[in-house]
Every structure is written in structure tokens, then in C-alpha cells.
Amino acid sequence: MPEGDTVAQAAGRLHAALAGRLLVRSDLRVPRLATSDLRGRAVLDVTPRGKHLLTRLEGGLTLHSHLRMDGAWWIFAPGERWRGGPGHQIRAVLGTEDRVAVGFRLPVLELLRTADEPRVVGHLGPDLLGPDWDPKEALRRLLADPARPLGAALLDQRNLAGVGNVFMAELCFLARVTPRLPVGELPAPERLIATAKRLLEANRAGPGRTTTTPQARARTGQRLYVYGRTGRSCLVCGTPVRTAGETYGEPGRDRPVYWCPRCQRGPAPGGSG
């Protein structure tokens, strides 16, 4: 599930493969971009912004993509068999003389002027992995609506950019509160902001997402405390981890929420007690 750390990894791979090279292949497989041809343009850089990817091209153009739940960019050598999904899921192909980048299942793909990037990412809060990171501003935004559930506030990219459902669940566990706790009741919110920064930084270069301590991993073999561990024992107290669905202001889009009913205080998600 792409979050700020995996998007930063994807940007790094794309940048290493494409930056400083001319495009000799361009195939954008969405109707509004079907006639766009980027061949002959050099790729200047690939920059992550929260969960967004900005591929900047000479001539003042940016190819903006978003991975959402299961999108991905894969890098191949010329002639190598493409993996990552069936052909009908391919949305973009960018090729140089020695590399081909293929975007699968990209729900957002658009070409815009680089000067217009604020139109698509200007609403985002401080980026946990970006040069604009400002913990005081992130804290101010997070606490702006004290009655809002903490889980919803963390997932709102306008507050701090880069946290998705996995990190939201793990951050709530580490703060020992449920995602339903009103954010204004969160003890030591500055510590949670610092923990979010530390976790994303620690995971931006690793192959597997990890939030547990080395001691916990050595003892249990688990890389996450609660996410995806429904019914399994909490790594701290042994209580079965619970799950519920939450929409967080997006009707029809339930997100699975995980928590330990003993270690985490606050209202139970899903209205389950």
C-alpha cells in the first residue's frame, strides 16, 4: 500500500532511471493524453510530494501521477519482459535508450505546466520526507479541529503529507490511543509528530515497512504492531488485535482500522464499544 515512504522510494528509482536522459519512448494510455508525445524531451528530475509523483521534463512540463491504493511504477531494461500487471492496467510508458518506466494502475495521470504544480499539490501540508517539513506548522494543522478523530486528522494530507492507513494505525498504537480519540485530547501531540517523521525516514530506503523495535522483531518476528493483525495477540499485552471499518469523511470508502483494546485508550472505531 503506497504511503509517503514507498512513494519516496518510487521517486528515487524513477529519478535514477530517467533523470538527465532523453525520452525515446512515450505512451500515455489515458484518453485525454492519448495524443501527447514526450519523445525528445529530457527528464529533469522526479520529485515526491506527499503521495504524489512529479516527473519534470524540459520545456516546462510535469507529468503528475498518484499511486492511491495499488498503483506502481516499474523499471525495466529494453527488451525485458514487463511485470507488474496485465497490459490493460498500463497507464504510462516512458523510455530512454537504456531504461523503460512503466506505470500500472495509476488512478491519476495528468500533464501540466511545471509552473502549475501548486494546482495539484499546493493544498498539501508539510511533507514528512520533503524539504518543506515544518513540525510546528504540521502540529498547528493537525490540532486545528480538536473534535476530529485522530485517525482522520492523520490521514488528511492537508495536515501533514505522507501518512496512510498503515502508518496511521501504527502511530495511534505507539501513542497508546485509538484512532477515534478526538485529536484535541491527544497527549503529547508533538511527540506523535516526531514519531511520524522518524518512522517515515526510517522506512524510506527499506524493502519492508517496519514500525516495531529490534527487540520486538527478534522476539516475535513481527514488523508491525497492529496493522493487518486482526485477532492476533498484541505484541505488548497479548490481547487480540481488533479491526473495524471507518469512512473518515469518505462515504463508500471504508478503511480497515486496527487497534489493541487494552493498550489504546479512547472510543473504539466502528462504534463497536
Which active-site residues does the annotation give?
2-3, 51, 255
E strand or H helix at 2: none
Residue 91, exposed/middle/buried by CB under 10 A (0-12, 13-18, 19+)?
A: buried
User: What residue has cell string 520533503?
Assistant: 130
CB 101 within 8 A of CB 18: yes
- Which of these, 125, 180, 176, lies nearest to 152 by C-alpha position? 180
Backbone angles phi, psi at 25, to 5 degrees: -140, 135
CB 161 within 8 A of CB 128: yes
Strand stretches in the chain, DSSP E: 25-28, 43-49, 52-57, 61-66, 72-76, 90-95, 100-104, 108-113, 242-246, 255-259
- Which of these, 154, 159, 157, lies nearest to 174 by C-alpha position? 154
SS (H, E, C) 218-265: HHHCCCCCCCCCCCCECCCCCCECEEEEECCCCCCCCEEEEECCCCCE
